[in-house]
Structure 1
Amino acid sequence: MATEERNHVSNGEGDREEQEDEKMEQFFALLRSFREARDKRKHELRLRDHEEDINKKMKKSKASKLGNDERSSWVPRFEWEDFTSEFEFPRPLVVFPTPYNKKEDQKNQEDDDGLDLNLTLSSASL
């Protein structure tokens, strides 16, 4: 009887080990399939990028062959005189008059006889 129990116990452990081995094989099979899918997708993306690069190069070469007539021959070029010479307006600038207020005008005449160009702070201006 003791030998039967040992065989039964060993068979139970063996079943557990077989189940664990099967689970591990399934796990590694999943890992392999994920890696294969990832590598396949990377390969597809590389091919797509490579095809896009080729298409861009072809478009550029076609544009350069056909576009020589379409391109402008004028290239902007600035010289120092462009920035130092005075600019003359073709007509006088429009100057909008300030609104006229008699009360403010009288106060300004009483306070100021002219423009005060002295930029120092005085107690009167504070």
Structure 2
Amino acid sequence: MEDKKRKEKDEEKEEMMKMEEFYALLRRFRDARDRRRKELEELEKSEKKRKVPTEEQSGWVPSFEWEDFTNEVEFRGQPLRFTTPSTASPSPRLTLKKRKNDQHHLHDNSLDLNLAL
């Protein structure tokens, strides 16, 4: 009889120890999870601080050399001609003729974009 009681007590103690181990394991798991969450939050905060620069930085910084300005530039078309204003205005007939001549000259040098069927 005493052996049965002793066995029951031993079994109860053993079961209590198993339960304590189980709860200790759960506590350690929760602690580890909480620590990892805090580490990730701190990491995100530090990355956000690093990503927010005080002023925008350009990825490209232009640099010029003297050769950039010494090369001769070749134009595709004729340069525009600006006339200086004079006190005496030319006759309307001459300006109209000149305008037509300029338009004809521009038409010869331009690309024909009209579609023909």
Q: TM-score of the superposition, structure 1-length normalised?
A: 0.46
Structure number with higher relative contact order (C-alpha < 8 Å, ≥ 6 residues apart): 2
